[in-house]
């Protein structure tokens, strides 16, 4: 598995744990890459995920980085996290 | 002769009014911008008292928009920038909105309601615009001054109309209750479209000559940086905001410049309160509503959970039993509030207002009791509104949208606690045939603001109901 794939897998696992996604929802997310297909992506969820991602990957989100689509689009989020990770 | 209500809102001086990102705006600058924007409104030939909506994130422009509407003699309706087109259409129609103050980026997304759309950033960027000569602002205490949206239990959002006199009363109550002066600096992530955000985090600081630090998006680390950089004296949030902040604040952070940490919208869970005290943060609970303004603010000293403090001077609270009789102190009942800050009416709802008693008390929808010292304790809601991080959501409104899907035979929407003890929206659906969660969310997303969408959707074969057609709360909790 290359680095972006590992990052994507780690993000999926984090989302599954933090949001308590059911297997069916996780499967859809893995296949279609849209978090807002399986849950409401309100400001609370966005903040919860940002905190979790910052802690997990030792990165930092700035307010200008954030739009709902970044958090909901797994490909975009993976690219962002991959680029922001220390050593990348 | 006493000064007219709210006159201090329109004073001009070099003191900092708003810190918006890296820019500082003086009261002089804010008032000048407000006059320019008011001039734009006045060219529309609207009538005094016509309603002007504002759709702007927390920012200096949001402050300017409100002051401009007030200067031009109109009633101001701040609205959630996350509302979808059908929701905006309902609001505009219900309030007969004549003009909308928004950003250039969102202007094209406004519904075609006949209201004049005014991009605030474009108006203020026109450096050739001359402000009209300053004219006296209509501060008749009986004038409708602001409209605030709130959640009802009827399936449709409600909008309360508040007079200049009522808004002035609330500002005075809170100013006295928190001892606010021009030396204070407020930092709040509560949106200015929310009653608490508008009245307590924007208007009251302006009224008091204090400074406002705006953040247009809540991210815990960024908020903490703003607290450390700008050194606010008052920080306002919700239990969710404090939950998130507690995860990023270092134990030895020097936050002594903050003399008041205020939480509103819902009770702080006990475990969170304990964690915050470890960080030397004593959170004071603010209690109020769109209809009443702020009712009370707790002292923050370690007290029993549910304590929201003594009613502010000028606010009257009573506890009533199911038969409408006032109960002795110490006994639980329904909380009712009266005072000069009370709303005037629900817009677009003619007929008798069932929320107000015959002797002028507003039924809060909360259950509680008062101790012998007069401190108010809240014990729960008597209605079914879901409290999503301080913003009330009417489950019936969400349910009606879900039930309008052809593929949904039956739906039930209710609040459920998440792992942090905060309330989230959950939906049970009985479907006709195959339908996916993503299809449901997509359908709802076209019709409802994101915060009203269910966090969890569960498909079931049937929704249990009793003989009255209601689903017992005990079943939902299980």
SS3 B25: strand
Rg of chain B over Cα atoms, rounded to whole angstroms, equals: 22
User: Do B337 and B430 belong to one domain?
Assistant: no
Q: What is the mean pLDDT of residues B448-470?
A: 83
Residue A6 CB neighbour total at 10 angstroms: 12
pLDDT of A79: 95
Q: Which residues touch B473 (CB under 8 Å, ≥6 apart)?
A: none
User: Do B84 and B231 belong to one domain?
Assistant: yes
Q: What is the mean pLDDT of residues B92-121?
A: 93
Cβ contact (<8 Å) for A40 and B454? yes
User: Cα dihedral angle (A21, A25, A29, A30), rounded to 10 degrees?
Assistant: 90
Structure-block tokens of residue B204: 């009251």
For tokens 């209605």, the residue is: B383
User: Do B249 and B175 belong to one domain?
Assistant: yes
Q: Is residue B2 part of a domain?
A: no
Task: Give the C-alpha distances (Å, rounded to integers) separating B371 from B41, B136, B310.
Answer: 50, 46, 10
Residue A65 DSSP label: G
Query: What CATH number does the domain containing A24 carry?
Result: 1.10.1200.10
Chain A residues with CB under 8 Å of B456 CB are 39
Query: What CATH number does the domain containing B317 carry?
Result: 3.40.50.12780
Shortest Cα distance, chain B CAs vs residue A62, angstroms: 7
User: Do B245 and B152 belong to one domain?
Assistant: yes
User: Do B332 and B466 belong to one domain?
Assistant: no
How many domains does one find in chain B?
A: 2
Cβ contact (<8 Å) for B217 and A63? yes
Q: Is residue B200 part of a domain?
A: yes
Query: What CATH number does the domain containing B455 carry?
Result: 3.30.300.30
Cβ contact (<8 Å) for B441 and A20? no
Q: Is residue B319 part of a domain?
A: yes
| Chain A residues with at least one Cβ partner in B under 8 Å | 20, 24-25, 28, 32, 34, 36-45, 47-48, 50-51, 54, 60-63, 66, 68
Q: What is the ipTM of this complex?
A: 0.88
Sign of the C-alpha dihedral computed for residues B308, B164, B143 and B76 taken in this order:
negative
Q: Answer for the pair B88, B452: CB distance below 8 angstroms, yes or no.
A: no
Chain A residues with CB under 8 Å of B189 CB are none
Q: Can you spell out the DSSP letters for B294-355?
A: EEEE---SS--TTEEESBPTTEEEEEE-TTSPBPPTT--EEEEEEETT---EETT--S--TT
Domain range for A55 is 3-84
Q: For B273-325, write each residue's pLDDT tens digit.
A: 999 999 999 999 999 999 999 999 999 776 677 899 999 999 999 999 999 99
Chain B residues with CB under 8 Å of A54 CB are 221
How many domains does one find in chain A?
A: 1
Shortest Cα distance, chain A CAs vs residue B454, angstroms: 6
Q: Is residue B345 part of a domain?
A: yes
Structure-block tokens of residue B379: 């014990």
Instruction: For residue B437, give the nearest of A25, A43, A44 by CB distance.
Output: A25
Q: Is residue B386 part of a domain?
A: no
Chain B residues with CB under 8 Å of A32 CB are 438
Q: For B6-50, write each residue's pLDDT tens digit.
A: 989 999 999 999 999 889 999 999 999 999 999 999 999 899 999
pTM of the model: 0.90
Cβ contact (<8 Å) for B451 and A42? yes
Domain range for B438 is 394-477
pLDDT at B472 over 60: no
> N- to C-terminal Cα distance for chain B?
62
User: Do B402 and B301 belong to one domain?
Assistant: no
User: Do B307 and B362 belong to one domain?
Assistant: yes
pLDDT of A35: 94
CA atoms within 13 A on the CB side of B437: 27
Pick from B353, B380, B407: which residue ends a domain? B380
User: Do B403 and B375 belong to one domain?
Assistant: no
pLDDT at B476 over 80: no
Spatial distance between the Cα atoms of B395 and B101, rounded to a whole number of angstroms: 30
Q: Which residues touch B47 (CB under 8 Å, ≥6 apart)?
A: none
When pLDDT is cut at 50, 70 and 90, the band that residue B133 belongs to is low
Q: Which residues touch B411 (CB under 8 Å, ≥6 apart)?
A: B399, B402, B403, B427, B428, B429, B430, B463
User: Do B85 and B225 belong to one domain?
Assistant: yes
User: Do B224 and B343 belong to one domain?
Assistant: yes
pLDDT at B447 over 90: yes
Instruction: For residue B441, give the nearest of A32, A36, A44 by CB distance.
Output: A36
Chain A residues with CB under 8 Å of B222 CB are 62-63
Instruction: For residue A51, give the nearest of B216, B244, B445 by CB distance.
Output: B244
Report percent pLDDT > 70 for chain B. 95
B115 vs B477, which has greater pLDDT? Answer: B115
User: Do B467 and B434 belong to one domain?
Assistant: yes
Instruction: For residue A37, give the nearest of B215, B424, B441 by CB distance.
Output: B441
């Amino acid at each position: 598995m290359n680095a972006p794939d590992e990052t994507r897998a780690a993000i999926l696992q984090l989302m599954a744990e933090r949001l308590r996604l059911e297997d069916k929802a996780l499967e859809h997310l893995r296949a279609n890459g849209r978090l807002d297909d399986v849950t409401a992506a309100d400001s609370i969820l966005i903040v919860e995920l940002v905190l979790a991602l910052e802690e997990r990957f030792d990165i930092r989100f700035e307010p200008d980085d954030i739009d709902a689509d970044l958090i909901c689009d797994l490909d975009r989020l993976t690219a962002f996290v991959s680029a922001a990770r220390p050593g990348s | 002769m006493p000064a007219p209500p709210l006159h201090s809102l329109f004073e001009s001086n070099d003191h900092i009014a708003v810190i918006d990102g890296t820019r500082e705006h003086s009261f002089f600058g804010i008032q000048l911008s407000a006059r320019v924007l008011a001039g734009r409104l006045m060219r529309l030939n609207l009538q005094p008292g016509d309603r002007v909506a504002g759709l702007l994130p927390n920012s200096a422009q949001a402050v300017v928009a409100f002051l401009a509407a007030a200067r031009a003699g109109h009633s101001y309706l701040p609205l959630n920038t996350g509302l979808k087109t059908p929701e905006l259409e309902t609001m505009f129609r219900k309030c007969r909105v004549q003009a909308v103050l928004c950003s250039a980026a969102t202007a094209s997304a406004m519904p075609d309601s006949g209201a004049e759309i005014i991009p605030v950033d474009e108006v203020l960027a026109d450096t050739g615009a001359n402000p009209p000569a300053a004219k006296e602002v209509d501060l008749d205490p009986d004038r409708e001054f602001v409209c605030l949206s709130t959640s009802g239990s009827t399936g449709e959002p409600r909008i309360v109309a508040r007079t200049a006199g009522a808004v002035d009363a609330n500002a005075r109550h809170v100013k006295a209750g928190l001892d606010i002066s021009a030396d204070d600096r407020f930092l709040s992530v509560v949106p200015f479209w929310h009653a608490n955000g508008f009245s307590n985090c924007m208007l009251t600081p302006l009224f008091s000559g204090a400074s406002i630090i705006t953040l247009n998006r809540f991210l815990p680390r960024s908020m903490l940086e703003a607290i450390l950089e700008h050194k606010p004296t008052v920080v306002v949030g919700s239990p969710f905001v404090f939950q998130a902040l507690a995860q990023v604040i270092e134990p030895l952070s020097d936050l002594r410049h903050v003399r008041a940490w205020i939480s509103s919208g819902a009770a702080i869970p006990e475990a969170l309160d304990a964690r915050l005290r470890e960080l030397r943060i004593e959170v004071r609970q603010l209690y109020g509503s769109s209809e009443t303004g702020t009712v009370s603010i707790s002292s923050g000293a370690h007290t029993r959970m549910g304590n929201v403090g003594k009613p502010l001077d000028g606010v009257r609270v009573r506890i009533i039993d199911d038969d409408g009789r006032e109960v002795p102190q110490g006994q639980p009942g329904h909380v009712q509030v009266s005072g000069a800050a009370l709303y005037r009416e629900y817009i677009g709802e003619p007929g008798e207002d069932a929320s107000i008693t015959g002797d002028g008390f507003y039924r809060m929808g909360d259950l509680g009791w008062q101790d012998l010292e007069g401190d108010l304790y809240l014990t729960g809601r008597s209605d079914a509104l879901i409290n999503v991080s301080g913003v009330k959501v009417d489950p019936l409104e969400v349910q009606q949208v879900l039930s309008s899907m052809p593929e949904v035979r039956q739906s039930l929407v209710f609040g459920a606690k998440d792992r942090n003890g905060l309330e989230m929206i959950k939906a049970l659906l009985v479907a006709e045939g195959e339908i996916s969660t993503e299809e449901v969310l997509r359908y709802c997303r076209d019709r409802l603001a994101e915060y009203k969408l269910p966090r969890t959707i569960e498909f079931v074969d049937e929704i249990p109901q009793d003989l009255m057609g209601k689903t017992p709360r005990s079943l939902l909790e299980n």
